[in-house]
Structure 1
């Protein structure tokens, strides 16, 4: 053993070279260990190798994703055949159509965030075998970035400009610049993590267009916002106008309700009057009943009279009945008829109905 340690340095180098030759397969692309790509991009994973003369078996190349629960195949080459019908089918391929030439590099197209992981290239040709791993991180670029102003834009107030990306893989940084006029005011301050730009004691000089750039390790996105700093609003006039407007609105509402209620009462009254059956003043008694009562009273009075007294009564009372005398004094025109007045009209004129007792030819009451 001591004689081995006494060998010259060049001999040790020769022995190590011989040992390397006996090891067989050697992967030469070991510099690539970590890659970061954007979603939708293409990535190239390197795996170049050399074979030793002692390697006599068939060449076998395997690309897999190393996971905690095992290895998931990506693409393979064995006995001059390519096997790629796995979970990335249609998106993965060998760069060299003949990987046995020493180049097992692959391309993965249309990357997804779920493609992130540790990829391992394994080249095996018995008795030699060697592996190499590459860490791949697929990130999403910032997208749908919006800029807006929070709070008032009046002179003397603190104005806050905000920027936010609705899509994108953290960590996202935000950076504000001014596209019109001068640079950002000296009194302004921005937070790259939250995307807020604070303009203290804003003035009209600060008016203009501002740009926000959102960025992460794989891409950027931007948005714009226009700031217009205006003088303060007359609060007293605004409040007075609001109060007057409210009072007018309430007055109009009250008038409208009054008109509606009045209209409803009128309709209700008309409906009740239309369906109400009223009892009119009883009609005047008929001439027949009046005459009968009059005859009864006259008969009672006549019954109390003696025959001797009847002559004067008959002469004074019943001789005045316009019977024959009326016929004597009637006009000579035979076609003339006295005007007739209806009984109801006579009653209204105050006439009293009178029953004339029947008389005989000698004037006695029958």
Structure 2
């Protein structure tokens, strides 16, 4: 269920959804893992039989091609084996002490948006058993709200979301939760991150909220501004994950 979460709260919950997988040696399983960019994440791969795999072969790939981590009877990418994709060099480790329990899970450190994708954990010598994990690395910065221009009758508000991933839906709302008419959003993309600017003109005194929603990672964050129309105008800006405010007085 989609709820309002602050960026600060997200830092306390780096893994929003984690499905620990177990299966027999003749089946495959699917799972989904969501993590905040910059955090470490575990991709699970367990044998329900708890078979000792210290002398076995297991191979992690991303999107069917990129070599993430390969272990073959004690030889792997972190102790001299070549072939690992540059994207993952120095960032992936396994659970050496738990191999005897059938644990082939890995940890990817300092995750990046580019790490998002489909990962497979395969045991070629165990009846081609394969685990499939979808990893979503999310970046969820708070919006920034600004008053671009104001008269006694109206105010032009601007909301900016810088570097979000996946692409968020950005909306202006009033205090009653009604979505406000707005200009066409300006959207650009760099390195898998989205940069969005949304302007709206308001004609009443109220508290207005810019809301950024990322349904794929079940995350919503917002920033607010209070606008008073007519006479003296005080603008009160507040972000839900900052304990700071700014009051600017305009006299007409």
TM-score per shorter chain, which class?
0.5 to 0.7
Contact residue 50 and residue 100 of structure 2 kept, 8 A: no
Say which of 54, 65, 72 aligns to 2:66: 72
Residues 310-333 of structure 1 deviation map (CA, whole Å, 9 limit, x = unaligned) = xxxxxxxxxxxxxxxxxxxxxxxx
**Partners in 2 of 1:130 and 1:65 — Cα distance?**
16
With the length of structure 1 as denominator, give the TM-score of the two structures.
0.42
Report the structure number with the largest CA radius of gyration.
Answer: 1
- Quote the offset at 1:45 in angstroms: 1.6
Write 1 or 2 for the structure with the bigger share of helix.
Answer: 1
CA contact (8 A) 2:172 2:182 kept: no
Residue pair 2:157, 2:201 contacting (<8 A) in 1 also: yes
Q: Is the 8 A contact 2:58 2:70 kept in 1?
A: yes
CA distance, structure 1, for counterparts of residue 50 and residue 66 of structure 2? 29
Poorly superposed stretches of 4+, deviation over 6 Å: none
Per the TM alignment, residue 190 of structure 1 is displaced from its structure 2 partner at its CA by 4.6
Check 1:192–1:75 CA distance in 2 against 1; reply closer, same or farther (3 A cut).
Answer: farther
Indicate conservation of the 8 Å contact 1:26/1:50, yes or no. no
Coordinate RMSD, CA, aligned: 3.6
* Equivalent position SS for 2:150: coil
Partner-residue secondary structure (3-state), 1:41: coil
Note the C-alpha offset of 1:141.
Answer: 1.6
In the TM superposition, what is the alpha-carbon distance from 1:111 to its structure 2 partner? 0.6
Residue by residue, what CA displacement relative to the aligned partner does 1:4-59 show, whole Å, maximum 9, x if unpaired?
xxxxxxxxxxxxxxxxxxxx93356x141x33333112322221125699xxxx51
Q: Unaligned stretches of 5+ in structure 1?
A: 1-23, 233-366
CA displacement at 1:114 relative to structure 2: 1.5
Higher RCO structure (Cα 8 Å, ≥6 apart)? 2
Q: Which residue number corresponds to residue 199 of structure 1?
A: 202
Structure 2 counterparts to residues 125-164 of structure 1, below 5 A: 125=125, 128-143=127-142, 145-154=143-152, 157-164=153-160
